[in-house]
């Protein structure tokens, strides 16, 4: 379909003199003459806006090009003649063209949006995006490094063909140097110990497993299905949410909220958010639609009637032929009033598109989707909004996003939409904005959503960012910015110290450069750091951005306005999964068949050592905290640790919750709660302190208790699984 649209346009387009092949070749050559930059690391101090730098020298254009480069220039000239005139949207002059502060302009009406959509639309997802652009730069670097290509080497005959969608998608050749670049002296910036640090393997010692056996961390977080707020407990199980009233230790069962699905749809719980007596539940939904046969397809021939038994007819009813279907994606937001633990439905909002992200800010919930379901139906006329416009539903009323709420960027490599919606939990109001184009790169903060894109303008790759303000449930377009290069993998786009940090890799006449740019929340640049290295992955480690690739670098951005290049240091202390207690950590371990409460720490080399071990139970036992250390309850203020475990005492199956405090060099038992049950659903698990009361959760019961430095006392319990225990059991 796209080819037909383009061909119709091309037949009617006049060719200006400036787009003659010889003029295009001249234009491309001029664009490759970059100003020479120093190849050592450049760290810019905090700025509020970018300023031009006076150039004392200019790089002279090379007088000769390789055969490969001349070939690409010829292809580029033809591509501009064919595609160049359909790159931008047809925007009326009185509506304002691209706003540099917005990176595009809102559609004036659906007619303009429809024309723009048709011009850009290609029925494929294989166009270049941020990830493929980064892979292309890496590939060109690796070819240059491993094969030693120079300007005098012709391209290989087996080089795969490249399909060009537009002139912006033409891959420019890597800039090569016949000699290694000369690093100029930079007296203004002094960096000490910048090279990557390789740990000395001889100095690394391994902790003797007999001294401290750390728990298995593979299951950590498995019991993280409980949340408490406002005198209520919320327990998730699969796609359902159970409400429990928990006020001053008194427990009462509330409603169970579960998704309602039609026969042809499925819903999966994404998350839920609480604000006062309001609860917003977010589901990712899929709707299945049968695919009807094309009109010109012949209907399948009817099978000849044969004698069928009763069993044959029953089997025909049970096993029907599989009907091909297509899937439409949406996100459903259910808003409830949950006063007194009862869930009363207030509103249902449905947002078209695949789920991307969701975040709560104050009393509002913001949901982001990527909409591409238009690919499931043909693009027809401007009035067929279903074929090219995302929509949302409020209490059953379907609303197509207004054209004036859809931003058309100046460049896009895809016609998929980014849709951002805000739901005010207090008023149930809905606000929706959309961006034509979705690259799969985004960042969502407390007050803003940042959508990242890619632009390739005559060989200069750029990462663009459009900002959407999130305020009291209202979504509005904010600022726009860009930086040269394509975003790195991992935390190439991240938030540090309230700043938006973008790490990019680009090619320059002096070689490949990795640039780390920090923007404030309004996308004003505050600092920039350039590294003369090929770095492809970024990792944010508590405000220090570690960049890895052919070399390793690290930049301290805890003060984003004053970046500091430091030695990349690997954090050897493996404490992220352990519960902090005093000057060390606490874990439940098994030492020679004895359930043991261990207090341990790490030395300067990251090796674990034992502070003290205290036996909890000897014999056959079970404990959820053994495979998930976070199940342990630790109160550093009171100095207490709660340990759940179970065992068989010869008569009954016993489940016990024990409370310990650190007394000198060992843990001392404060007290315990013990129950006798047959069902493992009553085994103690995670505990949460809420309003001065300790709530202990099992799969089928919730307990409340008073836990202090010298006491543990049961207050109340409520069950949602029937107990089968009827007294002592004798075997």
What the block records as the tokens of 381 is 């006329």
658, 703 Cβ separation under 8 angstroms: no
On the question of pLDDT at 685 being above 70, the answer is yes
Cα separation, 177 vs 512, whole angstroms: 11
Which two tokens mark 369?
A: 């989707």
- How high is the pLDDT of residue 8? 39
Could you tell me the pLDDT band of residue 36, with boundaries at 50, 70 and 90? Answer: very low
589 has a pLDDT exceeding 70? yes
> Using CA atoms, how far apart are residues 236 and 701, in angstroms rounded to an integer?
14
pLDDT of residue 509: 80
Q: Given pLDDT bands bounded at 50, 70 and 90, which one contains residue 22?
A: low
Is the per-residue pLDDT at 17 higher than 80? no
Exposure pattern of 308-320 as b/e (b: 16+ CB <10 Å)?
A: eeeeeeeeeeeee
Quick check: 40 pLDDT over 70?
A: no
Residue 572 buriedness (CB in 10 A; 0-12 / 13-18 / 19+): middle
Q: Which of 130-139, 266-275, 610-619, 666-675 bottoms out in mean pLDDT, i.e. has the lowest?
A: 130-139
In DSSP notation, 69-98 reads HHHHHHHHHHHHHHHGGGSS----GGG---
Residue 649's pLDDT band (cuts 50, 70, 90)? confident
Cα separation, 62 vs 329, in Å, equals 52
* Residue 175: pLDDT over 60: no
The enclosing H or E element of 280 equals: strand 278-290
Shortest CA distance to 136 belongs to which of 546, 501, 506? 506
- If one counts the domains in the chain, the total is 1
Q: Is the confidence at residue 149, as pLDDT, over 50? A: no
Q: What is the mean pLDDT of residues 151-162?
A: 36
460-471 β-sheet, strand order: 441-444, 448-457, 460-471, 474-484
* Nearest residue to 471 via CA among 367, 363, 351: 363
Q: Is the pLDDT of residue 51 over 80?
A: no
Q: Is the pLDDT of residue 646 over 90?
A: yes
Q: Give pLDDT, residue 275.
A: 95
d(CA 368, CA 433): 10
Q: Burial, 333: exposed, middle or buried (Cβ in 10 Å; 0-12, 13-18, 19+)?
A: buried
| Mean of pLDDT values over 478-506 | 91
| Alpha-carbon gap, residue 714 to 710, rounded angstroms | 14
Please give the Cα distance from 477 to 522 (Å, whole number): 11
Say if 663 falls within a structural domain.
Answer: yes
Crossing angle of helices 110-120 and 2-12, rounded to 10°: 100
pLDDT of res. 718: 95
What pLDDT is attached to residue 318? 56
Q: d(Cα 322, Cα 305) in Å, to the nearest integer?
A: 21
Q: What is the DSSP string of 441-500?
A: EEEE-SSEEEEEEEEEETTEEEEEEEEEEEETTEEEEEEEEEEESEEPEESSEEEETTEE
Average pLDDT over every residue of 329-339: 96
Model confidence at 182: pLDDT above 90: no
Work out the average pLDDT over 242-256: 95
CB 688, CB 695: distance < 8 Å:
yes
Say which residue, 714 or 567, is predicted with more confidence.
Answer: 714
Q: What whole-number distance in Å separates Cα of residue 524 and Cα of residue 499?
A: 10
**Within a domain: 29:** no
- Cα separation, 478 vs 448, in Å, equals 9
Q: Which domain holds residue 610?
A: 579-719
482 neighbors 98 (Cβ within 8 angstroms): no
What pLDDT is recorded for position 257? Answer: 96
Is 557:563 a contact under the CB 8 Å cutoff?
yes
Highest-pLDDT range among 183-192, 265-274, 298-307: 265-274
Given this model, what pLDDT does residue 323 score? 58
8 Å CB contact between 525 and 481: yes
pLDDT at 23: 57
- Determine the length of the chain: 731
- pLDDT score of 641 more than 60: yes
Question: How confident is the model over 632-649, as a mean pLDDT?
Answer: 93
Any bridge partners for residue 350, and if so which?
Answer: 332, 393
| pLDDT of 193 over the 90 cut | no
Residue 503 has pLDDT above 50, yes or no: yes
Domain of 708: which CATH number? 2.130.10.10
Average of per-residue pLDDT values in the chain: 75
How much is the pLDDT for 1? 41
Q: pLDDT band for position 162 (50/70/90)? A: very low
Higher-confidence residue of 510 and 485: namely 485
pLDDT band at 723 (very low <50, low <70, confident <90, very high): confident
- Decide if 449 contacts 477 (C-beta within 8 A): no
Q: Which residues contact 1 (CB under 8 A, 6 or more apart)?
A: 121, 123, 378, 379
pLDDT, position 530: 92
Average pLDDT estimate for 531-549: 91
Separation CA 315–CA 304 (nearest Å): 18
pLDDT at 393 over 80: yes
pLDDT in the model for residue 364:
96
Beta pairing partners, 241: 236, 257
Please name which of 23, 72, 30, 28 lies closest in space to residue 171, comparing C-alpha atoms. Answer: 72
pLDDT (0 to 100) of residue 609? 87
Domain assignment present for residue 276? The answer is no
Measured distance CA(181)–CA(605) in Å, rounded: 38
Tokens of 543: 């405000």
CA 554 to mean position of chain CA atoms: 23
Q: Which of 48-57, 60-69, 175-184, 424-433 shows the highest mean pLDDT?
A: 424-433
Residue that the structure tokens 């341990």 belong to: 600
Which two structure tokens, joined as six digits, stand for 653?
Answer: 């199956």
Q: 30 Cβ partners below 8 Å, 6+ apart?
A: 61
Task: For tokens 């166009």, name the residue.
Answer: 127
CA distances from 82 to 4, 10, 20, 85 (A): 13, 7, 11, 8
User: Measuring CA to CA, which residue among 399, 474, 467, 481 is closest to residue 435?
Assistant: 467
Q: Is residue 436 part of a domain?
A: no
- The C-alpha R_g of the chain, in whole angstroms, comes to 32
Q: How far is CA 560 from CA 420, 478, 497, 524, in A?
A: 28, 21, 7, 12
The number of C-alpha atoms within 13 Å of 358 and in the hemisphere containing its C-beta is: 20
Average pLDDT rounded to a whole number, residues 265-288: 95
Structure tokens at 328: 């439409």
In angstroms, how far is CA 715 from the centroid of its own chain? 42
pLDDT tens across 298-333, in order? 444 545 555 667 666 666 655 555 556 788 999 999
Q: How far is CA 112 from CA 40, 108, 467, in A?
A: 47, 6, 23
Bigger pLDDT: 385 or 199?
385
pLDDT band at 123 (very low <50, low <70, confident <90, very high): low
Q: Give the confidence band of 653 by pLDDT, cuts at 50, 70, 90.
A: confident
Contact predicate 205/607, CB 8 Å: yes
Mean of the pLDDT values across residues 383-405?
Answer: 94
Round to whole Å and give the CA distance between 685 and 68.
66
| 608 within domain boundaries | yes
Question: pLDDT tens for residues 449-468?
Answer: 999 887 775 555 788 899 99
Whether 643 shows a pLDDT value over 90: the answer reads: yes
Measure the CA–CA gap between 86 and 64, rounded to whole angstroms.
32
Residue 486: pLDDT band by 50, 70, 90 thresholds? confident
Higher-pLDDT residue of 106 and 12 is 106
Specify the pLDDT at position 462.
Answer: 84
Residue 394 CB partners (closer than 8 Å, separation 6+): 347, 348, 349, 430
Give the rounded distance of the alpha carbon of 209 from its chain centre.
Answer: 37
Q: Is residue 559 exposed (0-12), middle (13-18) or buried (19+ Cβ within 10 Å)?
A: middle
Give the model's pLDDT for residue 66: 35
Quick one: average pLDDT of 202-217?
47
Identify the pLDDT of residue 49.
Answer: 37
Q: How confident is the model at residue 370 (pLDDT cuts 50, 70, 90)?
A: very high
Confidence label for 290 from pLDDT (cuts 50, 70 and 90): confident
The H-assigned helical ranges of 310-385 are 310-318
Residue 283 placed within a domain: no
């Amino acid at each position: 379909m796209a080819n037909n649209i383009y061909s119709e346009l091309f037949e009617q387009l006049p060719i200006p003199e400036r787009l003659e092949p010889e003029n295009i070749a001249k234009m491309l050559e001029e664009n490759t003459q970059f100003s020479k930059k120093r190849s050592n690391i450049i760290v810019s101090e905090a700025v509020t806006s970018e300023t031009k730098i006076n150039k004392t020298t200019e790089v002279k254009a090379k007088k000769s090009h390789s055969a490969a480069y001349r070939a690409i220039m010829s292809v580029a000239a033809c591509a501009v003649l064919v595609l160049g005139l359909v790159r931008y949207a047809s925007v009326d002059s009185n509506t304002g063209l691209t706003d540099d502060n917005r990176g595009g302009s809102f559609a004036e009406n659906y007619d303009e949006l429809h024309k723009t959509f048709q011009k850009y639309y290609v029925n494929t997802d294989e166009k270049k995006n941020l990830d493929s652009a980064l892979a292309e730069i890496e590939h060109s670097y690796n070819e240059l490094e491993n094969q030693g290509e120079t300007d005098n080497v012709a391209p290989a005959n087996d080089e795969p063909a490249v399909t060009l969608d537009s002139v912006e998608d033409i891959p420019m050749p890597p800039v090569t140097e016949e000699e290694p670049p000369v690093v100029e002296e930079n007296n203004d910036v002094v960096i000490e110990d910048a090279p990557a640090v390789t740990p000395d393997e001889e100095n690394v010692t391994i902790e003797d497993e007999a001294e401290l056996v750390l728990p298995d961390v593979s299951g950590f977080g498995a019991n993280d299905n409980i949340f408490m707020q406002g005198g209520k407990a919320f327990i998730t199980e699969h796609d359902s949410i159970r409400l429990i009233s928990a006020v001053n230790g008194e427990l009462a069962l509330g409603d169970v909220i579960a998704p309602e699905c039609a026969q042809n749809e499925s819903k999966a719980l994404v998350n839920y958010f609480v604000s006062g007596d309001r609860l917003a539940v977010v589901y990712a939904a899929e709707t299945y639609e049968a695919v009807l046969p094309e009109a010109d397809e012949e209907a399948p021939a009817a099978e000849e009637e044969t004698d069928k038994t009763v069993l044959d007819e029953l089997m025909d009813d049970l096993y029907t032929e599989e009907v091909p279907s297509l899937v439409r994606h949406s996100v459903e937001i259910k808003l409830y009033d949950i006063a007194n633990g009862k869930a009363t439905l207030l509103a249902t909002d449905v947002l078209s598109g695949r789920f991307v992200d969701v975040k709560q800010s104050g009393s509002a919930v913001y949901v982001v989707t990527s909409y591409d379901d238009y690919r499931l139906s043909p693009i027809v006329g401007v009035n067929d909004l279903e074929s090219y416009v995302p929509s949302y539903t409020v209490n059953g009323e379907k609303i197509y996003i207004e054209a004036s709420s859809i931003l058309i960027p100046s460049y896009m490599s895809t016609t998929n939409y980014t849709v951002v919606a805000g739901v005010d939990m207090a008023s149930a109001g809905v606000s929706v904005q959309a961006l034509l184009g979705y690259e799969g790169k985004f960042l969502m903060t407390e007050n803003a959503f940042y959508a990242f894109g890619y632009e390739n303008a005559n060989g200069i790759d750029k990462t663009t960012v459009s900002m959407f303000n999130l305020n009291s449930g209202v979504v509005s377009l904010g600022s726009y910015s860009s930086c040269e290069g394509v975003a790195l993998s991992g935390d190439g786009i991240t938030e540090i110290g309230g700043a938006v940090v973008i790490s990019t890799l680009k090619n320059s006449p002096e070689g490949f450069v990795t640039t780390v740019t920090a923007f404030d929340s309004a996308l004003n640049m505050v600092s920039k750091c350039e590294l003369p290295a090929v770095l492809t992955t970024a990792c944010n480690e508590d405000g220090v951005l570690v960049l890895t690739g052919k070399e390793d670098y690290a930049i301290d951005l805890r003060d984003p306005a004053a970046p500091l290049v430091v030695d990349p240091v690997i954090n050897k202390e493996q404490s992220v999964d352990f519960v902090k207690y005093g000057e060390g950590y606490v874990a439940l371990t098994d030492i020679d068949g004895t359930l043991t409460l261990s207090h341990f720490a790490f030395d300067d080399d990251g090796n674990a050592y034992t502070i003290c071990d205290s036996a909890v139970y000897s014999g056959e036992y079970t404990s959820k905290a053994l495979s998930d250390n976070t199940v342990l309850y630790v109160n550093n203020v009171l100095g207490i640790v709660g340990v759940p475990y179970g065992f068989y005492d010869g008569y009954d199956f016993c489940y016990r919750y024990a409370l310990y405090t650190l007394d000198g060099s060992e843990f001392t038992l404060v007290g315990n709660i013990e129950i006798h049950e047959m069902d493992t659903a009553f085994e103690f698990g995670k505990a949460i302190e809420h309003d001065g009361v300790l709530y202990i959760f099992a799969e089928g019961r919730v307990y409340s208790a008073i836990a202090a430095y010298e006491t543990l006392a049961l207050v109340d319990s409520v069950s949602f699984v029937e107990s089968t225990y009827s007294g002592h059991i004798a075997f």
